[in-house]
């Protein structure tokens, strides 16, 4: 039986599934329900400094992007950090940690970009018994306009400075939460490491407007006729998150920096993908806001079963295993050749592959008078578009044809390429081609 126990930067939890800092972790009631459901840890919703309370809108806070079946693909929010009193949150954190000593509780923090406020709030959190803190340098709306959140996360020098302050004033592990609203995610990660961060977490939400009300002519969600940009999350952002995680994991400067993965984790498979790219654990938000806390049961059982099938006894066995296989385009093997193959028995004759290839790709699929579809090998460049548009899983596959061998279907030898673009005679060797 696979052991899902997680030891992330010295913080132990019974499994690698944590709840991200968000509405699901805003209060004691929610967190207790989450722990009873089986979550290994939580990042308590972001706390701010003592003073005038944070005021959220009293209207719609979320916008959404749905698939054709109303499945929630992406969620946009304009909610701010916690609007509950700091002392109340601290008391609740203390009680919950006392009752669930085996679960991880990380406290997310965001205060003005000055050393004293950071020192003060770290001192306040210390007595709760929390396992660590997460510095929220990612929130893209509301707080960013006040010089916090994403406004800090977009400036590596600020990240390094604030992280250094926090490491100076606390012995708790410090996780730096990074914003995706930046060109090169490696730079803020490197800054966090220079500042002494124990780990980074990413991605925070992506700056977004999800829709426009064409009657009111206002972005949604709409508050009294006006709208604003918010933070985008959910399954739709997973590809962006995976790429940014991989960029940090394969960067020599940050390769050993622990990562907590965030961004569209909905199933155990999503979690395994993040961990294969270097994440020591994952954080979840939109999925529980869609399906409730009990989805962790499927995540735990699914990951455990997959690990058993693969022969992994602990999550450390596969964390980072995919990182060596992430490379730059110029190093891809140009001798690797595949061709599309259509299974006539599985085909439902919908014609999507034909339409997509004929109209937008390489005219490599033929359609007979009785709607039987076949691949023209001479024209097929193995782009994989037909596989992706086909509604029947496994109906169209890509068959590898070793270079230099005879293609049995055409009777012609498969041409040899040049290994990779670095060795290609047409490579001008300029900065663009050489990376």
Q: Do 92 and 33 belong to one domain?
A: yes
Give buried/exposed letters for 5-36 (b at 16+ CB in 10 A, else e). ebebbebebbbbbbbbbbbbbbbbebbeebbe
Choosing from 310, 325, 340, the residue where a domain stops is 325
**Does any domain span residue 387?**
yes
Q: Do 166 and 296 belong to one domain?
A: yes
Q: What is the CATH number for 242?
A: 3.20.20.70
Number of domains in the chain: 2
Active-site residue numbers? 139
Q: Do 348 and 266 belong to one domain?
A: no
Instruction: Please give the model's pTM, rounded to 2 decimal places.
Output: 0.91
pLDDT in tens, 255-272: 999 999 999 999 999 999
Q: Do 311 and 412 belong to one domain?
A: no
User: What is the per-residue pLDDT for 411?
Assistant: 63
User: What is the per-residue pLDDT for 339?
Assistant: 94
**Is the peptide bond preceding residue 203 cis, with omega within 30 degrees of 0?**
yes
Q: Do 230 and 317 belong to one domain?
A: yes
**Structural domain range at position 407:** 327-435
Q: Which residue has the tokens 């670095």?
A: 422
Q: Which residue has the tokens 């929130």?
A: 139
pLDDT in tens, 53-73: 787 888 788 889 999 889 999
Q: Do 115 and 146 belong to one domain?
A: yes
- Residue 373, SS3? strand
What is the Cα–Cα distance from 428 to 435, expressed in whole angstroms? 12
User: What is the per-residue pLDDT for 152?
Assistant: 87
User: What is the per-residue pLDDT for 433?
Assistant: 46
**Does any domain span residue 192?**
yes
Q: Do 129 and 172 belong to one domain?
A: yes
**Does any domain span residue 202?**
yes
User: What is the per-residue pLDDT for 416?
Assistant: 61
Q: Which of 103, 83, 106 is nearest to 35 (CA)?
A: 103
**Does any domain span residue 417?**
yes
Give the pair of three-digit tokens for residue 159: 């990240």
What is the Cα–Cα distance from 83 to 46, expressed in whole angstroms? 10
Contact status, residue 241 vs residue 247, Cβ threshold 8 Å: no
User: What is the per-residue pLDDT for 420?
Assistant: 73
**Does any domain span residue 95?**
yes
Q: Which of 214, 118, 99 is nearest to 164 (CA)?
A: 118
**Does any domain span residue 123?**
yes
Residues in the chain with pLDDT < 70? 140-147, 149-150, 403-418, 421, 424-425, 429-435
Per DSSP, 435 falls in state -
Give the pair of three-digit tokens for residue 99: 């009752």
Helix (H) or strand (E) run with residue 77 in it: strand 72-77
Q: Do 159 and 302 belong to one domain?
A: yes
**Does any domain span residue 1?**
no
Choosing from 325, 353, 379, the residue where a domain stops is 325
Q: Do 19 and 152 belong to one domain?
A: yes
Q: Do 300 and 341 belong to one domain?
A: no
Q: What is the CATH number for 336?
A: 3.30.70.20
Q: Which residue has the tokens 């960029």?
A: 247
- Residue 5, SS3? coil
CA angle 11, 8, 1 (to 5 degrees): 100
- What Cα–Cα distance (Å) separates residue 168 from each residue in 77, 172, 406? 33, 10, 66
Q: Do 314 and 363 belong to one domain?
A: no
Q: Do 357 and 321 belong to one domain?
A: no
Helix (H) or strand (E) run with residue 165 in it: helix 156-169
Choosing from 325, 354, 382, the residue where a domain stops is 325
Which residues are bridge partners to 207 per DSSP? 231
Quickly count: other Cβ atoms within 10 Å of residue 309's Cβ: 9
What is the Cα–Cα distance from 398 to 387, expressed in whole angstroms? 8
**Does any domain span residue 375?**
yes
């Amino acid at each position: 039986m696979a052991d899902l126990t997680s030891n992330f930067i010295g913080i132990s939890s019974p499994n690698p599934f944590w709840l991200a800092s968000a509405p699901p972790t805003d209060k004691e009631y929610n967190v207790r329900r989450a722990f009873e459901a089986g979550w290994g840890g939580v990042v308590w919703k972001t706390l701010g400094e003592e003073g005038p309370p944070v005021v959220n809108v009293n209207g719609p806070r979320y916008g959404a992007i749905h698939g054709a079946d109303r499945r929630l693909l992406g969620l946009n929010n304009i909610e701010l950090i916690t609007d509950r009193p700091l002392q109340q949150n601290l008391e609740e954190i203390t009680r919950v940690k006392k009752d669930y000593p085996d679960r991880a509780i990380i406290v997310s923090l965001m205060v003005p970009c000055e050393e004293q406020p950071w020192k003060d709030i770290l001192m306040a959190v210390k007595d709760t018994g929390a396992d660590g803190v997460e510095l929220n340098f990612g929130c893209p709306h509301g707080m960013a306009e006040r010089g916090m959140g994403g406004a800090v996360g977009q400036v590596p020098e600020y990240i390094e400075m604030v992280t250094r302050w926090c490491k100076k004033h606390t012995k708790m592990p410090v996780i730096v939460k990074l914003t995706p609203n930046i060109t090169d995610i490696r730079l803020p990660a490197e800054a966090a490491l220079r500042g002494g961060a124990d780990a980074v977490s990413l991605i925070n939400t992506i700056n977004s407007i999800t829709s426009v009300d064409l009657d009111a002519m206002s972005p949604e969600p709409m508050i009294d006729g006006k709208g604003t940009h918010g933070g985008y999350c959910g399954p739709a952002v997973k590809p962006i998150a995976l790429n940014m995680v991989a960029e940090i994991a394969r960067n020599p400067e940050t390769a050993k920096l622990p990562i907590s993965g965030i961004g569209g984790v909905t199933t155990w498979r999503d979690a395994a993908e993040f961990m294969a790219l270097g994440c020591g654990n994952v954080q979840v938000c939109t999925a529980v806001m869609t399906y409730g806390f009990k989805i962790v049961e499927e995540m735990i059982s699914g990951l455990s079963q997959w690990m058993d099938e693969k022969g992994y006894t602990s999550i450390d066995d596969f964390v980072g295993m995919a990182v060596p296989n992430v490379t730059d385009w110029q190093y891809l093997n140009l001798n690797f050749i595949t061709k599309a193959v259509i299974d006539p028995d599985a085909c439902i004759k919908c014609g999507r592959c034909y339409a997509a290839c004929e109209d937008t790709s390489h005219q490599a699929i033929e359609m007979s008078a009785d709607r039987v579809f076949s691949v023209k090998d001479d024209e097929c460049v193995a782009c994989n578009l037909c596989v992706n548009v086909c509604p029947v899983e496994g109906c169209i596959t890509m068959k590898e044809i070793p270079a230099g061998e005879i293609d049995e279907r055409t009777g012609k030898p498969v041409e040899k390429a040049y290994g990779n673009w670095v060795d290609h005679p047409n490579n001008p060797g300029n900065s663009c081609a050489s990376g």
